[in-house]
């Protein structure tokens, strides 16, 4: 790789570390934070200048905010640049179809067209340049190397190949890593059963998909009397949902499959979206700051919070020439830390992953409730069957939180002769959730198979209060990242 | 590109012809047939030696047949090598799981795992090496160049991305061609409607899919009051079904979309499957003989028939190191010619495309009936709605051919006040089919929307005679090629 001065960076496609080497780029991954800041600043300045020179959209936005690329003298100056929202991108593409005025490359250099996969609302279009696509492949290969993947490993890519960029990003990284890629793709009826058969047949080293899909796959395998441990998977990595970062879900996946469960993913717009990505030590996603610069910010001021504090990630591309995103507001909720990781990488980390949304935290009778906290608690309870649904209603005068939880097949069998079992389970769930959430939910225990399954991202929250329905309107447009909605706090 | 002596061939990934150049590789594409034979022979000998040295499967098969690579002194000697069937490949993978003993490369060099997408029977696995994948991309780019595609064109890839190799082959070729690839993928509910919106939004130069899917897409567009001509497509190319080579279907697609309709496709096993591929002059698929060597053979003796005659294609890879196929029997039915094409390429051609199967030609009351002939005839008839189904039964003493044909929306409207209209249409269809087929079918005219639609490959023949059901058993395993079943004539 060339030094920080040359931008856009050019990587050697033939480069491959020795298999026993821990890091893809040892120097970049272990450099002292101060030294890294200088590296990031150089890339940041190049990116911001690139956008200023090529994008009337950014020029207008920054001029309105009274900032100019020349103001970017220290890394701290970045916070003077206003955050960017997904709604702004959508409005820009509507006003200047089809791609908006932030494409920043010659149309002839576009290698890939993708887009949000929403069924409601106008989708947004992602254009990715040819050189960017190579850099994305390099970035993902590097992060997958950190996950423990090596050349010759077979990667089973279970998620749908279409507009959704998640699958494509893994494929590009896997190709660059010289893995054997098996782009299985989900989405057609009966395909999960076929996935079970192919996994048994090929015994791949790694699996990529969403946590929901992995759990669904395990259920289908069980119904065929197949033990998912017989797939022989070593690494399972995920994006698209927070699940893999939720301790209870991770534990369950690791138990069922006998493989390490790793979390990754920022936002589809931020591809290389793996720049939030765990290493083999699974201590929370590293922020690979030299690829995409992430500031975890106060959700009101959009100033970075101190390490150890909670905030919302604001992302800036450092290697993208096509549709560079500069301070894109995620609206996600996380806590970051700079405490060292055993792997030796010096990147900040998100020890609990991304566990909520600044806009889908449900306030119920004054308590802040995150669906991920409900999931995490349920998964620690013996007798919980794996699927659940949260229903928030205002049918009575007061908000009600209803948690529908399936019990396990084992409980179902035993309940036939022990009718008190279900009552005891319900009480146990109610008490544990009340402790976690600070409010007492109404718990309903449902027979196995009652709740809707998904082959893609699970939607487990139904809010019947009109207030909340509005906030959920953008939920169909999530892609490639653990997100829940579309913030608009700019 | 290096000369014929060097094998496996290595292509320069940076090579790109000038946009106004007609041929990707002018010399190879226009050389005199005799000169080409020498080129092919050199590659053939290298391929056969490669397989002999690395594959116990081929060694055993050829030893049983009393042939050895050294017997291959002239091109004609190839016919001494026995044909290979899909059933043999399946049996070999079952006996030596998972990939059989014809993989021929180091497992660490596998770039892609694909497979047949059958729901019945054991699927077969395709392993493609890293260098092969690059050669496939080069081959497809070269053929797509001949179709009139150029760098910077946007290619909308409509078919499903999964085991099916069709979509992946186009994507690889499109990337190498430096086109902007939009890997849309079909397969999820509601996606065709989304395809209509994205086509309007992005106005791509080219479309790839199956003919059935294109016609389905046009119907969905019409139901949304969208004229498919507004997509602005220039080139539509197809594989997976014979449709694009059937004059009536081609005419209909060209009328509805206002774009050139081109046919391509051999077999998934033969990837680069575009080696049967039309040029912009659309005079039938060229056999790109320096990529995959095709002999059109007598279905009994498997000796090549003379140009001008009908036979079944037998294919041999000339650039594959992973799973090289040597004399793979297609079981398809075609006629080949060496008459010149306006484009100036000197390859043989299949002027009527692939129009049947040696094993699904239906013999009904002594007449040879091809479903493609029925389709072709129907599409010339005014008032035909576009969908049809063929039902062959033996309910009475004699075989019956029932053709269910949908009438158009226009006919449906007019029939409300003119009840004789449908009777006249039925009579017209019956007479025309009787002329074409030599037997008189029972025709049923059905209202628009009656018959099942498909988003993938159309299955329009139902044979209720047990004999025929057996022949159809392998039909779910077609992929990447205009095939109907699985021959086993070895």
Tokens 């001065």, residue located: A5
Q: Which residues of A touch B168 (CB under 8 A)?
A: 183
CA distance B184 to chain A (A): 5
Predicted pLDDT of residue B118? 56
Q: Mean per-residue pLDDT for A159-183? A: 95
| pLDDT tens profile B203-214 | 999 999 999 899
| pLDDT tens profile B121-158 | 578 999 999 999 999 999 999 999 999 999 999 999 99
The verdict on a CB contact (< 8 Å) between A182 and B110 is no
Q: Mean per-residue pLDDT for B325-348? A: 96
| pLDDT tens profile B255-286 | 999 999 999 999 999 999 999 999 999 999 99
Q: Is the pLDDT of residue A111 over 80?
A: yes
Q: Which residues of A touch B119 (CB under 8 A)?
A: 190, 194
Nearest to A154 among B113, B117, B180 (CB): B113
In percent, how much of chain A has pLDDT > 70? 88
- Measured in degrees and rounded to the nearest 5, phi and psi for residue B406 equal -75, 140
Chain A residues interacting with chain B (CB cutoff of 8 angstroms):
97-98, 107-108, 110-115, 117, 119, 123, 125, 127, 130, 151-152, 154, 160-163, 168, 175, 178, 180-185, 187-188, 190-191, 194, 197-198, 201-202
Q: Is the pLDDT of residue B247 over 60?
A: yes
Nearest to A183 among B97, B161, B194 (CB): B161
Angle (nearest 5°) at CA A247 between A241 and A248: 90
Largest CA distance in chain A: 75
The verdict on a CB contact (< 8 Å) between A162 and B175 is no
Structure tokens of B13? Answer: 């990934």
Q: Do you find a cis peptide bond into B464, omega within 30 degrees of 0?
A: no
The verdict on a CB contact (< 8 Å) between B123 and A198 is yes
CA distance B279 to chain A (A): 23
In percent, how much of chain B has pLDDT > 70? 88
Q: Band the pLDDT of B397: cuts 50, 70, 90.
A: low
Predicted pLDDT of residue A116? 83
Where do runs of H (alpha helix) occur along B224-341?
247-257
Interface test with A, best of B124, B185, B192 (most A CBs within 10 A): B185
Give which of A157, A161, A162 is closest to A123, Cα–Cα: A162
Asked whether B262 and B244 are in contact (CB, 8 A), the reply is: yes
In total, the C-beta contacts within 8 angstroms joining chain A to chain B are 109
Rg over CA atoms, chain A: 22
Q: Is the pLDDT of residue A385 over 50?
A: yes
Distance CA B134, CA B155 (A): 19
CA distance B245 to chain A (A): 28
The verdict on a CB contact (< 8 Å) between B125 and A202 is yes
Distance CA A117, CA A120 (A): 9
| pLDDT tens profile A235-257 | 999 998 877 888 888 999 999 99
Asked whether B390 and B380 are in contact (CB, 8 A), the reply is: no
The verdict on a CB contact (< 8 Å) between B188 and A98 is no
Interface test with A, best of B106, B150, B183 (most A CBs within 10 A): B183
Nearest to A111 among B180, B191, B201 (CB): B180
Q: Which residues of A touch B208 (CB under 8 A)?
A: none
Percent composition of chain B: helix, strand, coil (DSSP 3-state, to 5): 35, 20, 45
Predicted pLDDT of residue A397? 59
Nearest CA in chain B to A106: B152
Q: Mean per-residue pLDDT for A18-47? A: 97
Backbone conformation region of residue B66, classed left if phi is above 0, alpha if psi is from -120 to 50, else beta: left
The verdict on a CB contact (< 8 Å) between A110 and B180 is yes
Q: What is the three-class DSSP state of A339?
A: coil
Q: Which residues of A touch B189 (CB under 8 A)?
A: none
| pLDDT tens profile B88-116 | 999 999 999 999 999 999 999 999 999 98
In percent, how much of chain A has pLDDT > 90? 69
Distance CA A488, CA A389 (A): 27
Lowest mean pLDDT among A66-80, A304-318, A431-445: A431-445
The verdict on a CB contact (< 8 Å) between A152 and B108 is yes
Q: Mean per-residue pLDDT for A359-382? A: 78
Q: Band the pLDDT of B73: cuts 50, 70, 90.
A: very high
The verdict on a CB contact (< 8 Å) between B162 and A161 is yes
Q: Mean per-residue pLDDT for A53-70? A: 98
Give which of B1, B81, B8 is closest to B321, Cα–Cα: B8
Lowest mean pLDDT among A283-287, A353-357, B343-347, B348-352: A353-357
Q: Band the pLDDT of A386: cuts 50, 70, 90.
A: confident
- Using the 8-state DSSP alphabet, how is residue B109 labeled? G
Q: What is the three-class DSSP state of A302?
A: coil
Predicted pLDDT of residue A470? 36
Interface test with A, best of B155, B161, B192 (most A CBs within 10 A): B161
Q: Which residues of B touch A119 (CB under 8 A)?
A: 190, 194
Predicted pLDDT of residue A399? 74
| pLDDT tens profile A327-346 | 999 999 899 999 999 999 99
Backbone conformation region of residue A100, classed left if phi is above 0, alpha if psi is from -120 to 50, else beta: left
| pLDDT tens profile B174-217 | 999 999 999 999 877 778 988 999 999 999 999 999 998 999 99
Nearest to A115 among B130, B163, B198 (CB): B198
Nearest to B161 among A114, A151, A161 (CB): A161
Predicted pLDDT of residue A23? 98
Q: Is the pLDDT of residue A220 over 70?
A: yes
The verdict on a CB contact (< 8 Å) between A98 and B180 is no
Predicted pLDDT of residue A245? 86
- Measured in degrees and rounded to the nearest 5, phi and psi for residue A413 equal -65, -45
The verdict on a CB contact (< 8 Å) between B182 and A114 is yes
CA distance A174 to chain B (A): 9
Predicted pLDDT of residue B454? 58
Q: Which residues of A touch B163 (CB under 8 A)?
A: 184
| pLDDT tens profile B438-473 | 788 999 999 998 887 755 445 566 655 543 333 333
Structure tokens of B463? Answer: 């044979």
Q: Band the pLDDT of B394: cuts 50, 70, 90.
A: low
Chain B residues interacting with chain A (CB cutoff of 8 angstroms):
97-98, 107-108, 110-115, 117, 119, 123, 125, 127, 130, 151-152, 154, 160-163, 168, 175, 178, 180-185, 187-188, 190-191, 194, 197-198, 201-202
Give which of A238, A270, A274, A277 is closest to A254, Cα–Cα: A238
The verdict on a CB contact (< 8 Å) between B107 and A178 is no
Predicted pLDDT of residue A396? 52
Q: Mean per-residue pLDDT for B223-252? A: 92
Give which of B316, B337, B199, B203 is closest to B269, Cα–Cα: B316
Predicted pLDDT of residue A372? 76
CA distance B156 to chain A (A): 9
Distance CA B233, CA B249 (A): 17
Q: Checking DSSP bridges between strand A461-463 and strand B125-129, what pairing results, if any?
A: unpaired
Q: Checking DSSP bridges between strand A461-463 and strand A384-393, what pairing results, if any?
A: parallel
Predicted pLDDT of residue A361? 65
Distance CA A313, CA A297 (A): 6
Half-sphere exposure of B286 (CA within 13 A, CB side): 24
Interface test with A, best of B163, B165, B180, B184 (most A CBs within 10 A): B180
CA A182 to each of CA A114, A185, B372: distance values in angstroms, whole numbers, following the listed order: 21, 9, 34
Predicted pLDDT of residue B41? 98
Q: Is the pLDDT of residue B5 over 70?
A: no
- Domains (range + CATH), chain A: 1-358 (3.40.50.12780), 361-479 (3.30.300.30)
Nearest to B113 among A178, A180, A194 (CB): A180
Better pLDDT: B162 or A436? B162
Predicted pLDDT of residue B475? 32
Predicted pLDDT of residue B452? 77
Q: Is the pLDDT of residue A16 over 80?
A: yes
Predicted pLDDT of residue B157? 97
| pLDDT tens profile B361-375 | 677 776 777 777 788
The verdict on a CB contact (< 8 Å) between A181 and B111 is yes
Q: Is the pLDDT of residue A230 over 70?
A: yes
């Amino acid at each position: 790789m060339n030094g920080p001065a040359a931008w856009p960076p050019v990587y050697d496609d033939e480069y491959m570390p020795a298999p026993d080497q821990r890091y893809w780029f040892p120097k970049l991954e272990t450099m002292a934070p101060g030294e890294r800041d200088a590296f990031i600043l150089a890339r940041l300045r190049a990116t911001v200048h690139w956008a200023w020179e090529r994008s009337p959209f950014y020029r207008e936005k920054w001029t309105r905010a009274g900032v100019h690329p020349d103001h970017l003298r220290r890394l701290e100056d970045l916070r003077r640049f206003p955050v960017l929202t997904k709604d702004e991108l959508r409005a820009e593409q509507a006003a200047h179809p089809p791609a908006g005025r932030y494409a920043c490359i010659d149309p002839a250099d576009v290698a890939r067209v993708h887009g949000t996969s929403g069924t409601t609302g106008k989708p947004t279009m992602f254009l990715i340049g040819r050189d960017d696509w190579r850099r994305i492949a390099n970035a993902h290969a590097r992060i997958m190397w950190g996950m423990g993947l090596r050349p010759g490993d077979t990667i089973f890519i279970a998620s749908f190949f279409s507009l959704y960029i998640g699958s494509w990003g893994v494929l590009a990284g896997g190709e660059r890593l010289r893995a054997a890629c098996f782009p299985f793709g989900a989405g057609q009826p009966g395909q999960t059963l076929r996935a079970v058969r192919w996994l048994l047949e090929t015994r791949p080293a790694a699996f990529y998909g969403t946590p929901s899909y992995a759990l669904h796959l395990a259920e289908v395998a069980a119904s065929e009397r197949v033990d998912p441990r017989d797939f022989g998977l070593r690494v399972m990595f995920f994006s698209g949902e927070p699940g893999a970062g939720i301790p209870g879900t991770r534990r369950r996946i690791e138990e069922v499959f006998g493989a390490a469960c790793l979390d990754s993913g920022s936002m589809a717009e931020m591809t290389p979206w793996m720049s939030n990505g765990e290493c083999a030590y699974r201590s929370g996603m590293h922020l690979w700051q030299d690829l995409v610069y992430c500031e975890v910010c106060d959700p009101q001021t959009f100033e970075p919070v101190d390490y150890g504090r909670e905030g919302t990630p604001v992302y800036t591309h450092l290697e993208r020439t096509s549709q560079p995103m500069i301070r894109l507001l995620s609206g996600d909720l996380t806590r970051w830390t700079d405490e060292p990781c055993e792997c030796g990488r010096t990147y900040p980390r998100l020890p609990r992953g991304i566990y909520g949304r600044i806009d889908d935290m449900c306030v119920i009778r004054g308590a802040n409730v995150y669906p991920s906290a409900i999931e995490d608690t349920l998964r620690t309870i013996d007798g919980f069957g794996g699927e659940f649904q949260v229903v928030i209603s205002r049918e009575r005068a007061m908000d009600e939180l209803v948690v529908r939880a399936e019990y396990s097949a084992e409980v179902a069998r035993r309940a036939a002769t022990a009718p008190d079992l279900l009552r005891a389970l319900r009480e146990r769930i109610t008490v544990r959730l009340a402790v976690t959430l600070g409010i007492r939910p109404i718990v309903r225990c449902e027979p196995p198979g009652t709740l809707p399954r998904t082959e893609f991202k699970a939607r487990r929250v139904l809010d019947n209060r009109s207030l909340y329905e509005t906030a959920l309107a953008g939920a169909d447009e999530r892609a490639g990242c653990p997100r829940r909605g579309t913030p608009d706090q700019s």
